[in-house]
Amino acid sequence: MNPGQLALLTILLIAAILDTVLAAKWSPAYFRHGVPLFVRRFAATPQWNPAFPSSGLEAEFSSSCSYSLAFKDLSPTEYAFREELFQLHWLRYVLVIHGLISWDYDHSQLTVTGYARIFPLAFLLANALILYEGSLPWSLAVFLGGVAILALSYATQAFLYGEVGKYAALKWSDLQSTYGADA
């Protein structure tokens, strides 16, 4: 392994550690900012600000065969969410994005945003540099394989994040119909 490859491996390790620490600590900046890879808006009907329990979301998106989702409120109008860390199940995928649910009461909608995690971006960059350098005979196969794995993982997460948005919009609207008359 040459010094350049060692440096890239070190950068990947740092990116993986940084991703894990920021996600585990529920860093608000980590969940509110970044490269948005997934953005979807959902109509919802409440005209007031109901309390929305994250426990209901966690119960709905708990899984025994794949990652369960964990949710944390960052503000009265924002919930961060991510796959549970260090969960061992038979269905695994690379974590490409982490999520933020934002409620927009003025426009009766919520937005689910999936921001790119640091490690997959570093992985793609490192592989692109190795491919550009051409130092490894199998670098193109590694790069294309990595892109394919990340694309499949993204598709899995995008589907799941869309389901989070649908469920949250439905429950938010149900809170309005259930409790709106009492407010």
Among 9-18, 22-31, 123-132, the range scoring the smallest mean pLDDT is: 123-132
pLDDT band at 130 (very low <50, low <70, confident <90, very high): confident
Name every residue whose Cβ is closer than 8 Å to that of residue 49 and which is 6 or more positions away in sequence.
Answer: 76, 77, 105
Average pLDDT estimate for 94-108: 89
- Rounded to the nearest integer, the mean pLDDT of the chain is 82
Q: What is the pLDDT of residue 132?
A: 76
* C-alpha closest to that of 145 among 162, 166, 168, 123: 123
Q: Is the pLDDT of residue 158 over 60?
A: yes
Q: What is the value of pTM for the model shown?
A: 0.83
- Structural domain of residue 108, as residue ranges? 3-182
Sheet containing strand 78-83, strands side by side: 36-43, 109-116, 97-104, 78-83, 69-75
What local confidence, expressed as pLDDT, does residue 108 receive? 84
The number of distinct structural domains making up the chain is 1
> Is the pLDDT reported for residue 146 higher than 90?
no
Residue 133 has pLDDT above 80, yes or no: no
Per-residue pLDDT averaged across 29-35, rounded? 96
Average pLDDT over residues 88-102: 81
Please report, rounded to a whole number, the percentage of residues in the chain having pLDDT higher than 90. 40
